[in-house]
Amino acid sequence: MVVPSLKLQDLIEEIRGAKTQAQEREVIQKECAHIRASFRDGDPVHRHRQLAKLLYVHMLGYPAHFGQMECLKLIASSRFTDKRVGYLGAMLLLDERHDAHLLITNSIKNDLSQGIQPVQGLALCTLSTMGSAEMCRDLAPEVEKLLLQPSPYVRKKAILTAVHMIRKVPELSSVFLPPCAQLLHERHHGILLGTITLITELCERSPAALRHFRKVVPQLVHILRTLVTMGYSTEHSISGVSDPFLQVQILRLLRILGRNHEESSETMNDLLAQVATNTDTSRNAGNAVLFETVLTIMDIRSAAGLRVLAVNILGRFLLNSDRNIRYVALTSLLRLVQSDHSAVQRHRPTVVECLRETDASLSRRALELSLALVNSSNVRAMMQELQAFLESCPPDLRADCASGILLAAERFAPTKRWHIDTILHVLTTAGTHVRDDAVANLTQLIGGAQELHAYSVRRLYNALAEDISQQPLVQVAAWCIGEYGDLLLAGNCEEIEPLQVDEEEVLALLEKVLQSHMSLPATRGYALTALMKLSTRLCGDNNRIRQVVSIYGSCLDVELQQRAVEYDTLFRKYDHMRAAILEKMPLVERDGPQADEEAKESKEAAQLSEAAPVPTEPQASQLLDLLDLLDGASGDVQHPPPLDPSPGGALIHLLDLPCVPPPPASCSVTQAGVQWRDLGSLQPLPPGFKLFLCLSLPSPGLSSHPRSQSV
């Protein structure tokens, strides 16, 4: 019994009528079974209909591999309908990974050589869509013959098929290069377009071809000029622009030919200026041509005036109401900002305006471009804008914005106070998104600006009092309060309004930081050390501090515990040394290891070494700290050479130092971890350097001290 097969449209109706996924699957499975049966029976009459149905089902996502052979049969058939569907099936179902695809090579060859034009068109189309390298090699002669056919319909397709073949098999370039010169004389737009694409492909693949085609630059210029000035034909134009597709393609080829070549670039200059000024930019088509022109101008060796014109065009694009055009302009300006910095600077206000875009992609581009445009003369204004942006920008841009601001501030800061203010502002606004070395940078900056100590500590205290959740800010504030607590309590800073701060308040704040669940372990470490330092800076008795320190002696966090225990010991047994150990940090130079002034530390160190109550764990933690140093991630290290973002450099400096005094006493003060490393290892000499070296690097000439090992 022969069941008449469903027509394609009926099947589609049925599938769309299915209410649920399961129902749809059922319908499709039933139909596929019919189709399979029909293929098995080999019914030639309805085969194309069955394949069409199968292709529809394939688009919905269902398997259709059993139709591959049917494609072959349909292609081999003599009926045009069959061929049409067969070739479509081949393009959709066959690809070069299946061996079956080679089987259509013969059919294609027949169709190319003997078929009528529409059939040749189908074959060429299929070849250029899914033709593999083997197929291309086999069929290259056929395609070459078709390049010389009189009918433009087939020729244009043959040319683009040649482009595909060259992409798959670059050796075929030699086959398809000779006809190009003649093809350029064609008037048919399709052929011309194909030829230009072919030449572009050839030039991109081989420098020899590039040199060969440089001589057609005048001809291309002529074609484009004709197109622009006289080529208005309704057939090919889009909103008043003659054949923008062809124009864009020619411009692209000119770009490739003119790149790094003075002579060709010179030939094109006038034309490019003409296109740039005469193109109607009210519609997207004109803007597309203009955009391509700008790209070409920027890439070739164009005259300076032309480059400025190009940048100005991009500036105009920035003011366009069409978002797409603004996006394209921002992307291109970003590419140009290195090479034509001053020209792009002129459009800075517009770029800054774009920061306020609602479209996040546009504002991202605007951010990148704004950061690239910051220089010493506009830094204050730009920073204001960028900081305003930071407050309102979407979260995924925050990190980039914050780090961009910090970098720019570092490079162009007019005054230290401004720099500190800027970093402070960034930390308050986007503290969680800053990079790890921001803390270290800021502490160093503050440490170096002696006149601003009081100001900094005051501001940081205020910021901390308001909000203890931003970790980098808290860390810096804790460090500052520890270092300059006395200035805070003195309360007589001129730059901001006087604030009476009580000792108890300061201690309470630091304790709050210590106890807060929001504080990271590192932050707690900072706070504990700050409390300890305050024990020498404050006038009152230190009971509260001693209390806190002893409580943390049984803390679960090993690092905190170690610190607390050691500070406690400092209180109990080494009180006479406490003041000296917890003295203010000396100014740390960034550039190289500094000899330090505090020689006292070395003497104290000798006495301390016997009493260092450190279990083996500290050694591990010191090793870990050393690894941290190697990673350079934590800002904890503050000994010469300090704050070098490349820790490898730090280590080299260490190795360079002679193993003779002075000890890096500054180590003793900054961060607890480092502090204890040094204190524990402070042997008569050499300094804690040795410890690092012993632990991590074999260094001849440096004896290892068993004591330091135990630390």
Partner 1 sequence: MAWISHEWFSIIPLDIVLIILSEGHSTTASLPQHGDRGFPFAAAAAAAAAAAGQALPRPRPAAAMQFMLLFSRQGKLRLQKWYVPLSDKEKKKITRELVQTVLARKPKMCSFLEWRDLKIVYKRYASLYFCCAIEDQDNELITLEIIHRYVELLDKYFGSVCELDIIFNFEKAYFILDEFLLGGEVQETSKKNVLKAIEQADLLQESFFSS
Cβ distance to partner 1 smaller for residue 361 or 392 = 361
* Cβ closest to partner 1, residue 291 vs residue 689: 291
CB of residue 63 vs partner 1: minimum separation in angstroms? 8
d(CA 605, CA 577): 10
Q: 602 and 668 in contact (C-beta within 8 Å)?
A: no
How many Å apart are CA 425 and CA 418, to the nearest integer? 10
Report helix, strand or coil for 663. Answer: coil
CB of 392 to partner 1, least distance (A): 18
Among positions 221, 224, 306, 328, the unique one binding partner 1 when judged by CB under 8 A: 328
- CB of 310 closer than 8 Å to CB of 276: yes
Q: Which of residues 404-463 bind partner 1 (CB under 8 A)?
A: none
User: Per-residue x/- marks for partner 1, 66-105, CB under 8 A?
Assistant: -------------xxx--xx--x------xxx--------
Of 299 and 589, CB closest to partner 1: 299
Which lies closer to partner 1 via its Cβ, residue 7 or residue 572? Answer: 7
Report helix angle 543-551 to 558-573, nearest 10: 140
**325 forms part of the interface with partner 1 (CB under 8 A):** yes
| Cα four-point dihedral sign 394, 396, 397, 402 | positive
Q: Which of 32, 55, 534, 588 binds partner 1 (CB under 8 A)?
A: 55
Pick the closer one to partner 1 by CB: 55 or 654: 55
Task: State how far the Cα of 280 lies from the Cα of 293, in Å rounded to an integer.
Answer: 13
CB of residue 16 to partner 1, shortest distance in Å: 8
- Which residue type, as a one-letter code, is found at position 139? L
Q: How many CB atoms lie within 10 A of CB 334?
A: 16
Residues 89 and 55: their CA atoms lie apart, in Å, by: 7
Closer residue to partner 1, CB minimum distance, 193 or 488: 193
The smaller minimum CB distance to partner 1, of residues 49 and 307, is found at 49
User: Of 340, 205, 185, 211, which Cα lies nearest the Cα of 264?
Assistant: 211
By beta-carbon proximity to partner 1, the closer residue of 190 and 404 is 190
State which of positions 349-388 bind partner 1 (CB under 8 A): 358-362, 364-365
Binding partner 1 (rule: CB under 8 A), the pick from 66, 153, 418, 571 is: 153
Structure token pair of residue 155 = 């020729």
Residue 176 CB: number of other CB atoms within 10 A? 24
Return the ∠ at Cα 7 (arms to 6 and 13), rounded to 5°. Answer: 90
Nearer to partner 1, 89 or 647 (CB): 89
CB of 92 to partner 1, least distance (A): 8
The verdict on 563 binding partner 1 (CB under 8 A) reads no
Count of positions on this chain that bind partner 1 (CB under 8 A): 86
Cis peptide before 686 (omega within 30 of 0): yes
Query: Near partner 1 by CB under 8 A, which window of 176-184, 247-255, 581-589, 652-660?
Result: 247-255
Query: For residues 416-453, b (16+ Cβ closer than 10 Å) or e, as one string?
Result: bbebbbbbbbbbebbbebbbebbbbbbbbbbbebeebb
- Count of Cβ atoms closer than 10 Å to residue 255 Cβ: 21
Minimum distance, C-beta of residue 12 to partner 1, in the bound complex (Å): 6
Neighbours of 578 (CB within 10 A): 17
Nearer to partner 1, 321 or 543 (CB): 321
Q: CB of 702 within 8 A of CB of 690? A: yes
- As measured in angstroms, the least distance from the Cβ of 235 to partner 1 is 5
DSSP collapsed to 3 states, 598-654:
CCHHHHHHHHHHHHCCCCHHHHHHHHHHHHHHHHCCCCCCCCCCCCCCCHHHHHHHH
Residues 6+ apart with CB under 8 A from 629: 637, 647, 650, 651, 692
Angle of helix 262-278 relative to helix 304-318, nearest 10 degrees? 40
- Would you say 124 or 665 has its CB closer to partner 1? 124
| Least separation in angstroms between CB 206 and partner 1 | 7
Minimum CB–partner distance for residue 256 and partner 1 (Å): 9
C-beta of 81 vs 515, nearer to partner 1? 81
Cβ nearer to partner 1, comparing 18 with 659: 18
Q: Nearest distance from residue 228's CB to partner 1, in Å? A: 15
**How many alpha carbons fall within 13 Å on the CB side of residue 159?**
31
Residues 112-141, interacting with partner 1 (CB under 8 A)? 118, 121, 124-125, 128-130, 132-133
With respect to partner 1, which residue has the nearer C-beta, 205 or 380? 205
End-to-end CA distance of the chain: 94
Q: How far is the CB of 348 from partner 1 (least distance, A)?
A: 22
**Which tokens hold the place of 441?**
């940078």
Tokens describing residue 4: 């008449």
The least distance separating partner 1 from the CB of residue 117, rounded to whole angstroms, comes to 8
From 292, 385, 568, 601, residue interacting with partner 1 (rule: CB under 8 A): 292
Distance CA 671, CA 673 (A): 6
CB of 129 to partner 1, least distance (A): 6
CA separation for the pair 109, 49 (Å, rounded): 25
Tell the smallest beta-carbon distance from residue 339 to partner 1 (Å). Answer: 17
Give the contact letters, 24-53, x = binds to partner 1 (CB under 8 A), - = no: ------------------------xx--x-
Segment lying near partner 1 (by CB under 8 A), choices 285-293, 368-376, 424-432, 621-629: 285-293
Residue span binding partner 1 (CB under 8 A) among the ranges 28-36, 270-278, 323-331, 606-614: 323-331
Q: Taking CB under 8 A as the criterion, which residues in 4-23 touch partner 1?
A: 7-9, 12, 16
Q: What residues are paired with 695 via a beta bridge? A: none
- Determine contact, residues 46/64, Cβ cutoff 8 Å: no
**Residue range at the interface with partner 1 (CB under 8 A); choices 231-239, 422-430, 440-448, 517-525:** 231-239
E strands, 205-317, are none
Map the footprint of partner 1 across residues 180-219, applying CB under 8 A.
189-190, 193-194, 197, 201, 204-207
Which of the residues 252 through 271 are near partner 1 (CB under 8 A)? 252
Give the shortest CB-273-to-partner 1 separation in angstroms: 20
For residue 164, state whether it binds partner 1 (rule: CB under 8 A): yes
Closest to partner 1 by CB, 54 vs 311, is 54
Do the beta carbons of residue 333 and residue 314 sit within 8 Å?
yes
Q: Which residue has the tokens 């204890």?
A: 676
Please name the residues in contact with 55: beta carbons below 8 A apart, sequence gap of 6 or more. 64, 67, 85, 88, 89, 92, 93
Instruction: Give the contact letters, 622-641, x = binds to partner 1 (CB under 8 A), - = no.
Output: --------------------
Between residue 680 and residue 709, which ones bind partner 1 under the rule CB under 8 A? none
Residues 468-487 that bind partner 1 (CB under 8 A): none
Nearest distance in Å: CB 110, partner 1:
18
Which of 39, 213, 291, 689 forms a contact with partner 1 (CB under 8 A)? 291
- Check residue 403 for interaction with partner 1 (CB under 8 A): no
How many angstroms separate the most distant Cα atoms in the chain? 110
